[in-house]
Structure 1
Amino acid sequence: MSELEEVCQHIHDKISSLQHMLDLSVVELPQNKMRKLGQELFGVERLMEEFEQCVGRQKEKLKHLKKIEELSHTDLEDVQHMRDNLPAHMPKKKDHLSEPVSSQSEAADVRPAQTENIRKSKKSFIREMEAITLPEFESIPQYMKGRVSYDQLNAALQSINTAVTTKYKIVHQPVKTLNNHSRKLHQRFKEQEIKETKAQYFVVEEDIREFAQVKVDKRFQGILNMLRHCQRLREQRGGGVIRYVLL
């Protein structure tokens, strides 16, 4: 039973008691009974004051609960909006292949086997472009975007990432483990490398068409311009080949 209900019940009991006493007042009451009646009336008066205070506290609680309800409703709307507008492509956290050695003594403790493992992990690592964020997309001039949507731009970005991953999986493999087709691709990749792309990850249009199954048409060229604008890649020309280098 709540505080308010308890006070109400107590007042009801007191009033019932007074009612019985008043019903008996038709008969002349002894002096001690009259004093008892006065005490009961005074007690009821105090209870009424307590009741008013209790009602005031309950009103404050109700006011506080309404504020909480309004805040909860606002938070719920915000969460619903976030859920309905969650981007299809979220930026990925950059990979950290190895942590820097904090001291010379720690550097001295690194064994050759551990160094070899680090080399292998670096060799197997393939860089990818991070997804375009919504603010970045909105910063692209409208004439450059045309009718390309946010999701379409990130889908094209992922296609290029697929081409990069496929290419460098072949590049990182020992030539002797490759089949004839992959060896020809490996040779082509090496021939396309120039001094400016040393230790860089890049693809050419042929890679995008072959590995990502994407048509590199005028529309896709516009998407490449948008990716350059967002500093995801740059062009490197040479030998009649356009290389799209990841930044």
Structure 2
Amino acid sequence: MSELEDIGHHIHVRISSLQCMLDLSVVELPQNKIKKVGQELCALERLLEEFEKCVSQQKERLTHLKELEDSFKRDLEDVHHIMDNIPAHIPRKKGPDNESEAVMTQNEAMDIQSAQLDDVKKSNKTVVREMAFITIPEFESIPQYMKGRATYDQVNAVVQSINTAVTAKYKILRQSLKSLNSNARKLHQRFKNQETKDTKGQYFVVEDDIREFTQLKVDKRFQGILNMLRHCQRLRELRGGGLTRYILL
């Protein structure tokens, strides 16, 4: 903006100079003065051309800035839309309960990290497989007759419940019988009785496990969502002995 003001001021000075010469034109001017007026007019013309060029450049910059502003507004709207529509099943980072919590020292952080690595090494062979959540493209690929009125969040809520049941079941199976109470021992024995040679090395649950470890209703809608999970290759069924085993893929 200062460049435009400087050019404008310079042009104003030149015009004032020309006006002064024209005012004196009533008097016969010497040849050198007439030549001076011509030079001033040429210089003024060049300045006007520079001024027009500068104005054109500023217009282009203004147009570009306007496009950037519109782009930023669209990005901001997209971010707000994403924040307002985050699926409920996505885990969120939990902050400290209050601001008075002590900050860990570097040594404490290193100790915790070392302990976590040890835990990972110890539990590498005992990791329970979990079912991956259904993505939006996968949900949209499910035939409408199969989806019915089920929503994306409802489908992933079933996925979460199945994962909860699987984790609880295999936590009991991997404990020694001596460490279990009477109810857990009964569950442990039931789980063992449900295993077959076809389930060896597989993770599976039955409907009773869903009822035992979750609040999910095992009803017609639940069965419909299981069909969708089979369609998306999240599980398969294995029947036998009066049971339907849902094996995680």
Q: Normalised by the size of structure 2, how large is the TM-score? A: 0.78
2:106 maps to what in 1? none
1:141 maps to what in 2? 143
- The runs of 5 or more residues in structure 2 that have no matched partner are 92-117
For the residues of structure 1 that align with 2:29 and 2:187, how far apart are their CA atoms? 118
- The runs of 5 or more residues in structure 1 that have no matched partner are 92-115
Match of 1:215 among 211, 214, 217: 217
For the residues of structure 1 that align with 2:241 and 2:169, how far apart are their CA atoms? 20
Q: Secondary structure at the match of 2:223?
A: helix
Deviation per CA, 1:13-50, whole angstroms, max 9, x where unpaired? 11122223333344444444443333222211221122
2:153 maps to what in 1? 151
Q: Secondary structure at the match of 1:132?
A: coil
Equivalent positions of 1:55-70 (< 5 A) are: 55-70=55-70
Equivalent positions of 1:10-89 (< 5 A) are: 10-89=10-89
Equivalent positions of 1:159-238 (< 5 A) are: 159-238=161-240
Q: Secondary structure at the match of 2:187?
A: helix
Instruction: Please state how far the C-alpha of 1:211 moved relative to its aligned partner.
Output: 0.3
Q: Would the aligned equivalents of 2:89 and 2:160 in 1 still touch at CA under 8 Å?
A: no
For the residues of structure 2 that align with 1:206 and 1:135, how far apart are their CA atoms? 31
Alignment CA distance shift 1:88-1:7 (3 Å): same
Alignment CA distance shift 1:82-1:214 (3 Å): closer
For the residues of structure 2 that align with 1:43 and 1:64, how far apart are their CA atoms? 32
Deviation per CA, 1:155-196, whole angstroms, max 9, x where unpaired? 111111111111111112222222222222212111111111
Q: Would the aligned equivalents of 1:90 and 1:133 in 2 still touch at CA under 8 Å?
A: no
State the AA in 1 paired with 2:241. Answer: G
Q: Secondary structure at the match of 2:236?
A: strand
1:129 maps to what in 2? 131
Q: Would the aligned equivalents of 1:162 and 1:212 in 2 still touch at CA under 8 Å?
A: yes
Question: What is the alpha-carbon root mean square deviation over aligned residues?
Answer: 2.6
Q: Secondary structure at the match of 1:23?
A: helix
For the residues of structure 2 that align with 1:79 and 1:117, how far apart are their CA atoms? 37
1:5 maps to what in 2? 5
Range 174-183 or range 71-80, more displaced: 71-80
Q: State the percentage of identical aligned residues.
A: 70
Instruction: Please state how far the C-alpha of 1:74 moved relative to its aligned partner.
Output: 4.0
2:241 maps to what in 1? 239
Q: How many residues align?
A: 223
Q: Would the aligned equivalents of 2:203 and 2:248 in 1 still touch at CA under 8 Å?
A: yes
For the residues of structure 1 that align with 2:71 and 2:223, how far apart are their CA atoms? 48
For the residues of structure 1 that align with 2:189 and 2:56, how far apart are their CA atoms? 86
Instruction: Please state how far the C-alpha of 1:202 moved relative to its aligned partner.
Output: 0.8
Q: Normalised by the size of structure 1, how large is the TM-score? A: 0.79
For the residues of structure 2 that align with 1:237 and 1:119, how far apart are their CA atoms? 36
